[in-house]
Structure 1
Amino acid sequence: MIKVQFAATPERWETYAEPMRAGFSNAGLDVDLRVDHTPDAVDYVIYAPNGPLKDFSPYTSCKAVLSLWAGVEKVVGNTSLTMPLCRMVDPGLTAGMVEWVAGHVLRYHLDIDRSIATQDQWQPRVPPLAMERPVTVLGLGALGRACAETLAQLGFPVTGWSRSPKVIEGITCQHGDDGLTRALAGAEIVVLLLPDTPATENMLNAETLARLPRGARIINPGRGPLIDDDALLAALDSGQIAHATLDVFRIEPLPAEHRYWAHPNVTVTPHIAAETRVVTSAQVIAENIRRGEAGEPFLHLVDRELGY
């Protein structure tokens, strides 16, 4: 029997226990899933960074730590975590992110906020077609690629940027420092879907924000540290950036005194762009355990050097 430790918050256990067991059963796995296994007997750990587990060293037989979160920045530097670490790439989470991003891109594209604000003034204003609205997606991992492809299908000319070269049909792909300059030039809407690493911190700063056309709009469902907050606020105040929709922040919940709350050109959402979905994430976890038992490569294995 495969011994699996569930190391997340108590409310997660209540939500996930039965769907996880169903996922294991459907995958033909004989799993003993608990929150209280003896650490040295555990084969796999299902993990969330906000749970109680901080020291992995007692898990001497553990074959892999399987995260319930897409982001691993809170655990990737843990020196006691010496076994393979897999992040969550959940089809349900991906679908949720695609829907959220597409909705907010269309909200900006169609100028829905202005239409609502002036609905009693009868001020007709016809938006351009999607083909006339360049969009740039920073980050072409699983989530970024899915969002970029959906926006391209909607007719937007989409440029994607990544640290390393990528080829995606229908997307103009850029990479590296020069590619970032090209990706930002002309982008009327920018979507941030990069991981949180030292290399991506403050990716949008005073210099990069200045490369955008005046009046560009920012959407950040990725990670809070991707944006230099002071630089973004200055760009919003000057009109260089017309509006920002922000779902993630350096400190969460966003402190009540933060300027983002009161800024007329900022929309704050409470980290809801994408959430791990119980049933589909259980299927991903089950598949990775099946792979581990079969000696096959794990899905979504984290590169410790890159940090994701």
Structure 2
Amino acid sequence: MTKVVFLGQSSDIPKLVVQARAQYPHLQVYTEDEPGARDAEVAACWRPAHGALARFPKLRLIHAIAAGVDNILEDPALPPLPICRVVAPDLTEGMTEFILWSVLLFHRNLDQVLTNQRRRQWQRVDQEPAASRSVGILGLGTLGTHAARTLAQHGYQVRGWSRQAKQIANVRSYAGADQLDEFLAGTDILVCLLPLTDETRGILDRRLLGKLPRGAALVHCGRGGHLVSQDVLALVREGHLRGAVLDVFEVEPLDTASPLWDEPNIFVTPHIASANSITSILDQISENIRRLQADEPLQNLVDAQKGY
């Protein structure tokens, strides 16, 4: 049996351990402090403490339990091993649903309706067709591509930006630093789905968001490290941004003293844009373990140089 150690700062870890032991008999499952864990060949993790992975000398594979891997790559003592991430249909569908809800919030002027409700003010708001709104997807990976296609199917003008040009039906593609400003200038609702890398850390700042048209909105469900929250707050208060849906933050949970909670035009959600089911996480880890043992190509292998 392959020995797997689960570790890190996630409330899903205990659930993963219980289900893996019950339903995956070909795996010998440990938590990081249990006897025998030191001999693990595979580490399944989320936000492991720096240096924790180096404690397991027999590791052959590091497997994230989610789509993001920046929390693993930041470890200065990270062993030079293959790293895989989880990309499952339920995660993709869930993310697209969250983005569609967020886009509708601004497209249908429901943000104004919610503000009016707090004021006990009955006031009809203008309604425009989806074709009147330009939605820009910042990051066209698996999640961004699916969201872009779905928004296009709903009639929105969809544009996407990525490091390299992508061909997606009914989506206008922009690529590279030279086309970023043009992409931003034509975007009414900006959706961030970038991976977190050295190049994208802190990208949602005044400099970038200031290039959006006045009155644009932000939907942030990428990574917390993209966000410069004080810049977003200032731009909303100044009216350059009409509002923002923020699902991920620089530090989580969001501090109860943060002014983001009370800003009327900022909608805070607690990192719930999407999540993999326990079964889909374990299925992908199990499949990659099979591939590892059979010396077959691994699924969703991370390019450590790119950061995703």
TM-score by length of 2: 0.89
Q: Describe the shift of the 1:236–1:121 C-alpha distance in structure 2 as closer, same or farther (beyond 3 A).
A: closer
Aligned residue number for residue 129 of structure 1: 129
Q: Describe the shift of the 1:23–1:171 C-alpha distance in structure 2 as closer, same or farther (beyond 3 A).
A: farther
Alpha-carbon offset, residue 76 of structure 1 = 0.6
Q: Describe the shift of the 1:9–1:193 C-alpha distance in structure 2 as closer, same or farther (beyond 3 A).
A: closer
Is residue 207 of structure 1 aligned with residue 218 of structure 2? no
Alpha-carbon offset, residue 217 of structure 1 = 0.4
- What is the aligned-residue identity percentage? 35
Q: Helix, strand or coil: the match of 2:243? A: strand
Of structures 1 and 2, the one with the larger relative CO (CA 8 A, separation 6+) is 1
Q: Describe the shift of the 1:34–1:241 C-alpha distance in structure 2 as closer, same or farther (beyond 3 A).
A: same
Q: Describe the shift of the 1:22–1:280 C-alpha distance in structure 2 as closer, same or farther (beyond 3 A).
A: farther
Is residue 44 of structure 1 aligned with residue 42 of structure 2? yes
Q: Helix, strand or coil: the match of 2:54? A: coil
Aligned residue number for residue 258 of structure 2: 258
CA distance in 2, matches of 1:133, 1:86: 36
Aligned residue number for residue 243 of structure 1: 243
CA distance in 1, matches of 2:10, 2:272: 21
CA distance in 2, matches of 1:157, 1:58: 50
Is residue 90 of structure 1 aligned with residue 95 of structure 2? no
CA distance in 1, matches of 2:38, 2:252: 34
Instruction: Pick which of 11-20 and 228-237 moved more.
Output: 11-20
CA distance in 2, matches of 1:112, 1:10: 33
Q: Helix, strand or coil: the match of 2:219? A: strand
CA distance in 1, matches of 2:132, 2:89: 30
- Residues 7 and 46 in structure 1, CA contact (< 8 A), matched pair in contact too: yes
Match of 1:31 among 27, 30, 33: 27
CA distance in 1, matches of 2:146, 2:114: 29
Q: Helix, strand or coil: the match of 2:276? A: coil
Aligned residue number for residue 299 of structure 1: 299
CA distance in 2, matches of 1:11, 1:177: 38
Alpha-carbon offset, residue 33 of structure 1 = 2.0
For residue 97 of structure 1, what is the amino acid of its counterpart?
Answer: M
CA distance in 1, matches of 2:10, 2:230: 37
In the TM superposition, what are the counterparts of 1:187-198 in structure 2 within 5 Å? 187-198=187-198
Alpha-carbon offset, residue 9 of structure 1 = 5.6
- Residues 7 and 53 in structure 1, CA contact (< 8 A), matched pair in contact too: no
For residue 61 of structure 1, what is the amino acid of its counterpart?
Answer: K
For residue 179 of structure 2, what is the amino acid of its counterpart?
Answer: G
Pairs aligned (count):
303
Aligned residue number for residue 69 of structure 1: 66
Q: Helix, strand or coil: the match of 1:242? A: strand
Q: Describe the shift of the 1:155–1:293 C-alpha distance in structure 2 as closer, same or farther (beyond 3 A).
A: same
Aligned residue number for residue 110 of structure 2: 112
Q: Helix, strand or coil: the match of 2:159? A: strand
Q: Helix, strand or coil: the match of 1:60? A: coil
- Residues 210 and 240 in structure 2, CA contact (< 8 A), matched pair in contact too: yes
Show structure 2 runs of 5+ residues with no match.
none
Is residue 60 of structure 1 aligned with residue 65 of structure 2? no
Alpha-carbon offset, residue 104 of structure 1 = 1.0
Alpha-carbon offset, residue 40 of structure 1 = 5.1
CA distance in 1, matches of 2:12, 2:230: 35
CA distance in 2, matches of 1:55, 1:14: 18
Q: Describe the shift of the 1:60–1:116 C-alpha distance in structure 2 as closer, same or farther (beyond 3 A).
A: closer
- Residues 193 and 222 in structure 1, CA contact (< 8 A), matched pair in contact too: yes
Alpha-carbon offset, residue 247 of structure 1 = 0.9
TM-score by length of 1: 0.89
Show structure 1 runs of 5+ residues with no match.
none
For residue 12 of structure 2, what is the amino acid of its counterpart?
Answer: R
Aligned residue number for residue 17 of structure 1: 17
Q: Helix, strand or coil: the match of 1:69? A: coil
**Which deviations, in whole Å up to 9, do the C-alpha atoms of 1:17-70 show, x marking residues without a partner?**
353356646xxxx222232353553221211215x6843334333221111122
Aligned residue number for residue 270 of structure 2: 270
Q: Describe the shift of the 1:170–1:19 C-alpha distance in structure 2 as closer, same or farther (beyond 3 A).
A: farther
Aligned residue number for residue 153 of structure 1: 153
Tell me how large the CA RMSD over aligned residues is: 2.2
Alpha-carbon offset, residue 263 of structure 1 = 1.7
